[in-house]
Amino acid sequence: MLRTLLSSALALVLVAGCTQPGHDGADGATAPDPASTTDAATTEASAMTDDATPDATAASDDPSREIATFGAGCFWCVEAVLEQIEGVHDVVSGYMGGEVANPTYKEVCTGTTGHAEVVQVHFDPSVVGFADLVEVFWDLHDPTTLNRQGADVGTQYRSAIFYHSEAQREAAEAGKAAANPRFDGRIVTEISAASTFYEAEDYHQDYYFANRDQPYCRAVISPKLKKLGLKY
């Protein structure tokens, strides 16, 4: 399923991680210290005090589209994959599943707010179904590691599917059961009802394609996209 979806994406699309020291991608590469990297990293450091924008909507404003919300470690990486899938119209990085209102990126990175880094996917279900996106989700990260992806450790990096309807919950549970035999370990992905979504700060949006020369992007995200046969 992933191969079919990604092949379609490449035909139609010409076309996410933190730069905190110690933030690593699913492949285990360490992100560079932001003090020694690009201007983008400097922008990130200066913007860390900006509050995230809340969005409590459970459905897309466009009735022809649906929303899916996934947590799979660093949102820069997840966004860079899912925005290349045919039928996906928008991918927004943000935070969900915590107890603190209007969290900042800096706060979420401490692991104390309860939020997961997530992406909210706006998609056309007549082109790509929610179950198809769940299949891609299993392949873009390791769902068997609890509260970590690679060397990124903390509840903010947990594997999670936040469902927006009963149909999504059922599809997520079915997908999880079907995918389990494909992995050496047991899938530990959290499947929970969607709560308030806080859109991440502007500099996180479309981060990879705006900062492909940033060392973290070159070391972690580009190899992941290349491995999946996507544009990088």
Can you give the pLDDT at residue 197? Answer: 98
Dmax over CA atoms of the chain, in Å, equals: 46
Q: Are the CB atoms for 24 and 31 separated by under 8 Å?
A: yes
Can you give the pLDDT at residue 83? Answer: 96
SS3 state at 69: strand
Q: Are the CB atoms for 161 and 189 separated by under 8 Å?
A: yes
Can you give the pLDDT at residue 62? Answer: 79
Q: Nearest-CA neighbor of 194 among 170, 172, 161?
A: 161
Catalytic residue flag (residue 74): yes
Calpha distance 115→195 (Å, rounded): 10
- Please give the structure tokens belonging to residue 73: 């470690």
Can you give the pLDDT at residue 5? Answer: 53
CATH code, residues 2-228: 3.30.1060.10
* Residue found under tokens 């995918």: 179
Calpha distance 21→141 (Å, rounded): 21
Can you give the pLDDT at residue 46? Answer: 36
pLDDT means per 10 residues in the chain (232 residues)? 45 34 40 36 38 56 89 96 96 97 96 97 97 96 94 93 98 98 96 98 96 92 92 90
For 124-208, where are the E strands, in sequence order?
A: 148-149, 152-153, 159-163, 190-193, 197-199
Contacts of 105 (CB under 8 A, 6+ apart): 18, 44, 47, 48, 52, 200, 201, 204
Please state, in angstroms and as integers, the Cα–Cα distance from residue 158 to each residue in 9, 133, 151, 154, 167, following that order.
27, 18, 12, 7, 23
**What would the pLDDT profile of 187-208 be if each residue is shown by its tens digit?**
999 999 999 999 999 999 999 9
SS3 state at 191: strand
Can you give the pLDDT at residue 151? Answer: 75
Q: Nearest-CA neighbor of 19 among 209, 219, 202?
A: 219
Can you give the pLDDT at residue 25? Answer: 38
